[in-house]
Structures are given as structure tokens and as C-alpha cells.
Structure 1
């Protein structure tokens, strides 16, 4: 009886991309469950990063670590998939690297938690906005991660456009533009409710995009 075996590299690539598919829904689910159950947390006033504060803060920290590692693994899988054959397809080098940068940003966000702010966790003054060394590190982490995600969307947009896949090209570019607008609005809006809500939606959109490209390449 003959048996059919798959090359180890192919199985590994598929597993890595599956991790990328899972990363977004897992991150969003853990974030929203905490947002609905943590005392004093208001999803319209508090960004997800604040959940890393307080006694149960380790849950969000773990969420950052797990999703960051899955994202970096997905980037490796994307690179493996996109460099198969010759010539190498457009975006095969920088697209995965930029997705990995987003994953790195998540890991750095776990290492440098956001400062307490806007009354969270409970006991924090409503107008408290002090920036500590770790808070500055968190800002740098966000800049690295979100810039990587925005750029990755644009690179993959060019990749899909070159391949004649207009729907995915447009989805990628629109995601990058909207995420940039939401991140800029959050930075300029000093934590106003509209900018927090817009950024929350942009985060969900960004993870949806990662899930989509990983599923496409798997």
C-alpha cells in the first residue's frame, strides 16, 4: 500500500498561516470579553491597551504576546508562500516583513504596558494622564506596530494589483488608509470618544485584513 506524504515545509507554511487566521479573532474575542467584564472599563473611552493594568492585566499582556507571536509566524508563512517559484512575486520581501513588524509591536506593547489613564483601572483619577518611561515605550511600540500594519496593507495592495486581483488590492489599500486615519485621529484627539471608537473599529478591520490575506495565501 502506498502512502502520500506532504513536504515538511508545506505543512509548516500552512500551520503558520493558520495561526495568522486565528490571531485576529482570538485577539478581538479576548479584548471584548475583558472590555465587557472589567470593572470601570468603558470601551468608548478606554483603548484596549489600558486592560494591561490592574490585577487581571496579565490577560491582556498575554493577549499581546500570543497574537504577536502568531502574527510573526504568519509573516514567516507568507514569506515562504510568496517566494515559491521564480520570479519572486511583487511584495514577497517587504509585505511579510511589515506584517512581522506589526507582530513585533504587539510584543513590545506587552513588554511596555500603557500607563493608567482616564479613570482606569478603578481608582485612577479621571484626568490622570502622566506618561512614564514604560508609557513612552508603549507609544513607541504602537508606532512600530501600527506603521508596519499600514505599510503592509499598501504593499499587499500593490501585490494584489500586480496579480490582477482588484478586490483584494482595494481591500488592502482601503484598510491601510482607514487605519492610518484612525491612528492619526487617536493621536490628535487626546482620547475623545469618537477617536477611541474609530480606532477600535480600525483594529478590528486590521485584524480582519490579516485573517483575509493569510486565508488567501494558505
Structure 2
């Protein structure tokens, strides 16, 4: 095995754990909020946003969920940058994924206001922000969603350049579907008639769509990097016998 090949495989092996972080971040985040929502009294996953799980006595579970997912995705962004270098490099893609990761961290640090009647006894919608934390939560969340859609479009262009038409189309469709679901969920949380009872469902659809794309992107690059393949065996020279 040449020194260049050995160096490439060694770099892929160092990058692999960072890409694995991207594979598991989404499923772990979704599983956690599904379990937390099912166990929370008065919480309706069809109506209420995921961020509302950060409110109340057990709110620390969703706060931790945001923080862990953010850290895993930040590690993935670093691995993404490394994995793309041999393929021609990309700056904006990993930066936008890092922005999504930082948004998750921000959502965990800055807790949202009550919305759509959760926690029980609160109004359907506050007339103004109850705290600066809640305002920051909404501002960070909006920027985070924009970053993910932009990442989809950036990678769509990148995949088209590599001749991977399927991934290019998938990335574009992800950006469109994510945006549509988030708009519908926002209208629901704004108490739009006919949508308010489904705001949480639309938001969950958007979250699953976005995380699915990120996890599959991480897995795709992990397989493409060759880090999961065993290194080629060294050829032995002829053995002299007496």
C-alpha cells in the first residue's frame, strides 16, 4: 500500500467518528422528544411544538436533547468539512450545518414561551414575549431553519456537480418539503383556524424531514470515504525456500 493511500485511509478513519455523530444525532433527537412528549401530562404532540417540552419540571430532558444534538451535529460539521476536502472541498455546506448545530444549542439555552395552551392553564398565544430568552429562542430557531434549507440547496448544487443526480434532487425536495411543513406549523402556532390543532404535527414532519436528510448525508459520506472498508492487505514478496 502506497504512503498516499495509507495517509488517505488514516484521515478517513479519523473523520469517521465525526460522521457517525451526524448519523446518530437526528434519530436520537427525534426518539427523545417522542418519548418525552408521550410521557408528559397535558401535552399534545399534534398541537404543541417540540420546544414546549423544555417547559415544566421535566423540561431539562428536552433542554439536554437540544444540547446533545447540537454538540453531535457540530462534530458532524467538522467531519463534513474533512470528508469533502478530497472531493473538491466545500465551505458553505459545512458552515451551514454548523449554523444548524449552533441553533440547536441556542434553542436549548434559551427556553421558549408557552404556546397553544401548554403548559396547561396558559393562554393560546401570549400578546408579547414573556422574556428575552423566549425572543432569542424564536430568533435563533428561525435562523436555524433558514440555515438548513440553504444547506440543502448548497449540497444540491454540489451533488449535481459530482454527477449524483439522485442526491441533488433529494436535497432540493428536502429543502422544499421542510420549508412547507415549517410554514404550516408556524401558522398553526399563530392560531390560524384549521391549523392550530395540527401545528405540532407539521413541525414534527419538518424536523423528521430535515434530520433524515442530515443523517443520510452523514451515512453517504461515511460510506464514500472508505473509512468502513478494511485496508487493503500488503502483498508479500516471493518467499525463498531452502
With normalisation by structure 2, the TM-score equals: 0.81
Contact 1:50–1:120 (CA<8 Å) still a contact in 2? yes
Structure 2: distance between partners of 1:120 and 1:194 = 14
User: How many residues of Structure 1 are paired with residues of Structure 2 in the alignment?
Assistant: 210
Which residue does 2:39 correspond to in 1? 37
Q: Secondary structure at the match of 1:118?
A: coil
1:112 alignment partner in structure 2: 110
Instruction: Name the residue aligned to 1:53.
Output: 55
Instruction: Give the deviation of 1:166 after TM superposition.
Output: 1.3
1:95 aligns with 2:93: yes
Deviation of residue 167 (structure 1)? 1.3
Which residue matches 1:158? 157
Q: Deviations over 1:173-204 (max 9, x none)?
A: 10111111222233334152334322211110
Counterpart contact for 1:44–1:196, Cα < 8 Å: yes
Cα separation, partners in 2 of 1:158 and 1:41, compared to 1, 3 Å: same
- Considering only aligned residues, what root-mean-square deviation do their CA atoms show, in Å? 1.8
Task: Deviation per CA, 1:90-111: give whole Å up to 9, x if none.
Answer: xx11011101110010001011
* Structure 2, unaligned runs of 5 or more: 1-5, 223-242
Unaligned runs of 5+ in 1: none
Structure 1 residue 202 corresponds to structure 2 residue 206? yes
For structure 1, which segment, 40-49 or 187-196, has the greater mean C-alpha deviation from structure 2 after superposition?
187-196
Whether the aligned pair in 1 keeps the contact of 2:50 and 2:200 (CA below 8 Å) is: no
Normalization by structure 1: what TM-score? 0.90
Q: Is contact 1:118-1:128 (8 Å) kept?
A: no
